[in-house]
Amino acid sequence: MASGFFALLDDIASMMDDVAVMTKVAGKKTAGILGDDLAVNAEKASGFMASREIPVLWAISKGSLLNKVIILPVAFLLSAFLPTAVTVILILGGLYLAYEGAEKIYEFIVPHEHARETANLNMSETELAVLEKERIKSAILTDFILSVEIVIIALGTVVNEGIWTQVIVVSIIALVATIGVYGIVALIVRMDDFGAKLIDLNDRDDSFSDKVGRFLVMALPKVVKSLSIIGTIALILVAGGIFVHNLDFVHDWVHALPSLVGEFLTGLVVGFICLPVVLGAKKLYKKVRS
C-alpha cells in the first residue's frame, strides 16, 4: 500500500517536472505575440479620462478571461480527438500573424489616416458610455483572436504529451498571459498620471521627483510605439517559425540560413503574399456591400 502511494507521488513529481519544462518551452514560443498584445491593449485602454482607464481595462480583462474559458475546452477536445486540426489551425494562425505583421510594415511605409475616436471634455455621459462600450468590444474581439493564437501555439508545443500535461501547461500559459499582459498594460496607461503626481509633489521645478515625473509623462507614447515595433518583429518571427517547423518544404528552403533569419524571411515573404490578397478581398467586400 505504502509503495503504491510513493509510486503515485513519484509519478506526480515526474509529471510536474515535465509541466515545468514544457511550460518554459511554450512560454518562449508564445512570448512573441505578447509584445503586439501589449501594444494593442495599451492603445485600446488609453485615450480616456484618467478615472475611466482602469474600469475600461478591468472590463477588457474580464472579457479576456471569458475568451480563455471558451477557447481552452475547444482546443483540448481538438487535441484529444482531432490532433491534426491543431496543426491546421496553427498554420492558419501563422498566416494571420504574417499578414498582420506585413500590414503594420505596409502602413508604416505607406502611412494613412486611422479614424480613432478618443474621449474628450465635450462628450456627454451617454457618448462616453457608448465610446467605452465600442472600445471594450473591439479590444475583447482582438484579444479573442490573439488568445486563439497563444493557446494553439502553446498546445502545439505539447501536442505529443499526455492530456493532463497539455491541460496544465496550456492553462498556465493562458492565465499568465492574461494576468501578465493586462497587469503591465495597467502600469503603462497609468504611467503619465503617476508622472503628473510626481511633478505636483512639491513646488520646486528642478526636484528629482519633477525630473522623474516629466520623464514618465514623455515616455508613455514612446513606450507604446516601441511595443508596437517590437510586436511587429515578433509577429513575423512567430509566423515564420510556425511555417518552418510545421511545413517540411519550407524548412528545406531555409535550413541553410541561421534560424532567426530563416524564420524572419519566411514570415515576411508569406506576410506580403497574404497582404494583397486580404486587401483585395476587403475592397471587393466593400464594393459588394455598397
Contact assessment for residue 232 and residue 240, using Cβ atoms and an 8 Å cutoff: no
Query: Residue 265: is its pLDDT beyond 90?
Result: yes
- Asked if the structure places residue 207 within a domain, the reply is no
The residue-averaged pLDDT of 2-19 equals: 47
The residue-averaged pLDDT of 238-253 equals: 85
- Asked if the structure places residue 53 within a domain, the reply is yes
- The confidence score (pLDDT) of residue 1 equals 47
Three-state DSSP at 118 gives coil
- Asked if the structure places residue 216 within a domain, the reply is no
Cell of 162: 499526455
Which regions of 97-234 does DSSP assign to beta strands (E)?
Answer: none
Question: Which residue type sits at 112?
Answer: H
Contact assessment for residue 122 and residue 134, using Cβ atoms and an 8 Å cutoff: no
- The confidence score (pLDDT) of residue 34 equals 64
The region of weakest confidence among 10-14, 75-79, 205-209 is 10-14
Contact assessment for residue 181 and residue 150, using Cβ atoms and an 8 Å cutoff: no
SS3 content of the chain, % helix, strand, coil (to 5): 85, 0, 15
Let me know if 94 is exposed, middle or buried by CB neighbors in 10 A (0-12, 13-18, 19+): buried
172's CB contacts (< 8 A; 6+ apart) are: 19, 23
- Asked if the structure places residue 178 within a domain, the reply is yes
Q: Which of 171, 143, 119, 128 is nearest to 39 (CA)?
A: 143
Residue 38 to residue 164: CA distance in whole angstroms: 29
Let me know if 262 is exposed, middle or buried by CB neighbors in 10 A (0-12, 13-18, 19+): buried
Q: Containing domain of residue 117, as a range?
A: 25-190+230-289
The region of weakest confidence among 170-184, 198-212, 266-280 is 198-212
Domain count, the chain: 1
- Asked if the structure places residue 238 within a domain, the reply is yes
User: What are 62-110's pLDDT values in tens digits?
Assistant: 888 898 888 888 888 887 788 788 788 878 888 888 888 898 888 888 8
- The confidence score (pLDDT) of residue 13 equals 46
pTM: 0.69
Where residue 6 falls among pLDDT bands split at 50, 70, 90? very low
- What percentage of the chain exceeds 90 in pLDDT? 4
Contact assessment for residue 156 and residue 26, using Cβ atoms and an 8 Å cutoff: no
Average pLDDT, the chain: 75
Query: Residue 273: is its pLDDT beyond 90?
Result: yes
Residue 232 to residue 211: CA distance in whole angstroms: 31
- The confidence score (pLDDT) of residue 29 equals 59
- Asked if the structure places residue 32 within a domain, the reply is yes
- Asked if the structure places residue 10 within a domain, the reply is no
Contact assessment for residue 199 and residue 213, using Cβ atoms and an 8 Å cutoff: yes
- The confidence score (pLDDT) of residue 257 equals 86
